[in-house]
Amino acid sequence: MKPIVQISLDLTNIEEALETAAMAMRAGVDWLEAGTPLILAEGLNCVRELRKQFPETPIVADLKTMDGGYLEAEMMAKAGATHVVVMSRAHEETIHCVVKAGKDHGVEVMGDNLADDMVSAAKKLEDLGCDYVIHHVGYDERRGIAARGERMPSPLDQLKDVVEAVNIPVQAVGGLSLEQAIRTPEYGAPLVVLGAPLTIDADSFKTASGNLEDSLRMICEKVHAYGDVAIGGQK
């Protein structure tokens, strides 16, 4: 599949999120993500506002569903999301419910393997009907381990294993440098996510400083230049 650039709007107010989204779209970003901090701060109104401002753009609602799967997915779909996120740690029935809601309401489901056995969780998510796998090393996990002076885990540690284990697209999330994020299609993971700390200040959850639009444009050009990326077992 063609590689996709997604910006995670891990912000805490809708005005800044809309400004950052507009800049990202000018730079060539393909998908917008209503990040978890934004949804917590603004509710699903943030998804409605993003949909209003960007009527044709795919929007990921990263609510990280753990229970109440059908209702949450339905609410996100009705707010304008095209993609919803369910956690692999959720009960299988919850994942089934999110997948069912996705089919009923025309949204795709992204399964997140955070804090789980990465490879087996990815396989389970595919088997249960998810359309994508989010291979995710968490914010608190990374920072806590680094604070103890230990090597900070990276999604790249098991990315190839996860990609090879499934036949659906994978995205790698969690503490990647700019250069690492751009290179994830080389691992067979065509969905490149830009969020904290690449575009969002990871400590204050505000838009990063510097000439962000030019940086995003460069990133999009490099990622899109990969052309078609083979998916997992399709190699």
- Residue 199 in this model has a pLDDT that exceeds 80: no
User: Which pLDDT band holds residue 200 (cuts at 50, 70, 90)?
Assistant: low
Candidate from 87-91, 128-132, 143-147, 162-166 with smallest mean pLDDT = 143-147
As a whole number of angstroms, the distance between CA 122 and CA 132 comes to 9
- Residue 233 in this model has a pLDDT that exceeds 60: no
What length does the chain have?
235
Q: What is the CATH number of the domain that holds 197?
A: 3.20.20.70
Element (H, E) at 213: helix 212-224
Pair type for strands 4-9 and 31-34: parallel
Q: What is the pLDDT of residues 97-114, one digit of tens each?
A: 999 999 999 999 999 999
The pLDDT of residue 235 is 46
Over the chain, what is the mean pLDDT?
Answer: 93
> Which residues constitute the domain of residue 30?
4-234
Q: What is the pLDDT of residues 6-57, one digit of tens each?
A: 999 999 999 999 999 999 999 999 999 999 999 999 999 999 999 999 999 9
User: Taking the alpha carbons of 126, 99, 181, 184 in that order, is the dihedral positive or negative?
Assistant: positive
**Tokens 């200040």 label which residue?**
201
For helices 45-53 and 69-79, give the axis angle rounded to 10 degrees.
Answer: 30
Q: What is the pLDDT of residues 188-198, one digit of tens each?
A: 999 999 985 55
Domain count along the chain: 1
